[in-house]
Amino acid sequence: MPRRLDHLVICVRDLQQAALDWQKLGFNLTPTGVHPFGTSNRLAQFADNFLELLAVTDEALVPAAAPGRFSFAAHNRDFLARSEGMSMLALHSTDALADAADFAAKGIGAYAPFDFGRDAVLPGGGTARVEFSLAFATDPAMSEIAFFTCQQRHAPELFWKPDYQRHPNAATRVIEVVMSAPEPARHREFLEHLMEGTAELAPGRLTIGKTGDRITVLGPAELSQRLPGLAGDTSPRFCAARFAVAELDATRRTLKSNGVDFEMRGAVLLVSPAASHGLALEFVEQEAI
């Protein structure tokens, strides 16, 4: 069965300012979480996936990469030296150790699994310890971005909170990640190994994953049609995320009242990456998925 989307890592230089900007976009964010390796985050949770605003907040704690060890913090620090935006895609996992072995066998990730924990602030103000295991995969043809699976090793109710999953913009889930690449077909083998599925190819386009858990890779012509503001940028990267919303009118009202510019492209509400720290956002009503 193809893997499902777990979360997006959106790398920002100023976590406090990014949180204010994403709240203007209508997302309800968790309190700040602090990692033991020099990064901090705030999350927008949905029913079964989420987005993560991430900043490097203590460079002294960032571990260096080493043979067989991927440094999550160092990757994001180096990404920020170039730009803000989506730096990594996480996929759901129930066994990161097995994922790491599978990635190594397929030649897409010769890295040891990475285990860590942090304190999560609960809606009532208390804290709970949450623990994660990650397995990383990289493609030399997409050297500025990375992928991993994420296994949560704690009771689900310690992390997933309905109070954090209600958003003024009516967003209910991340359903698609859009990437750009000069030749989408070039990334077919890597993405099929990563997603455990079969990609669909069309001229200038590659898609993989089930509806609601999809990665789409667009070439220059397809990118300019779907995201005209990004035309000309064809480096392999994450360039947009699509969200399902319960009511698109609620999304429009929230953005208008908060002074956020957007445009309607058919049934899709599009927000420029300038408003969201480097990642274009698409909102579609659930019935239109």
Distance (Å, rounded) from C-alpha 21 to C-alpha 27? 9
Distance (Å, rounded) from C-alpha 146 to C-alpha 76? 10
Q: Pull the structure tokens for residue 84.
A: 């803000």
Mean pLDDT, residues 103-110 taken together: 96
What's the topology of domain 5-164?
2,3-Dihydroxybiphenyl 1,2-Dioxygenase; domain 1 (3.10.180)
Mean pLDDT, residues 232-241 taken together: 85
pLDDT digits (tens, 9 = 90+) for 128-165: 999 999 999 999 999 999 999 999 999 999 999 999 99
Tally of CB atoms within 10 A around 152: 18
Q: Pull the structure tokens for residue 188.
A: 């077919």
For residue 286, name the pLDDT band (cuts at 50, 70, 90). confident
Distance (Å, rounded) from C-alpha 98 to C-alpha 110? 12
For residue 242, the model assigns a pLDDT of 98
Tally of CB atoms within 10 A around 166: 12
Which residues, 6 or more positions from 207, have their beta carbon under 8 angstroms from its beta carbon?
199, 200, 214, 215, 216, 217
What's the topology of domain 171-288?
2,3-Dihydroxybiphenyl 1,2-Dioxygenase; domain 1 (3.10.180)
Q: Is the pLDDT of residue 287 over 70?
A: no
Distance (Å, rounded) from C-alpha 210 to C-alpha 255? 29
Q: Is the pLDDT of residue 233 over 80?
A: no
Q: Which residue has the tokens 């997006």?
A: 8
For residue 119, the model assigns a pLDDT of 93
For residue 174, the model assigns a pLDDT of 98
What average pLDDT is seen over the chain?
A: 95
Q: Which residue has the tokens 């804290």?
A: 127
Q: Tell me the torsion sign for CA atoms 223, 83, 73, 19.
A: negative
For residue 176, name the pLDDT band (cuts at 50, 70, 90). very high
Q: How many residues does the chain have?
A: 289
Which part of the chain has CATH 3.10.180.10?
5-164, 171-288
Residue % of the chain over a pLDDT of 70: 98
For residue 228, the model assigns a pLDDT of 86
Q: Is the pLDDT of residue 272 over 80?
A: yes
State pTM to two decimals.
Answer: 0.96
In whole angstroms, how far apart are CA 30 and each of 21, 110, 114, 137, 160? 14, 33, 23, 27, 11
For residue 235, name the pLDDT band (cuts at 50, 70, 90). confident
Distance (Å, rounded) from C-alpha 260 to C-alpha 254? 9
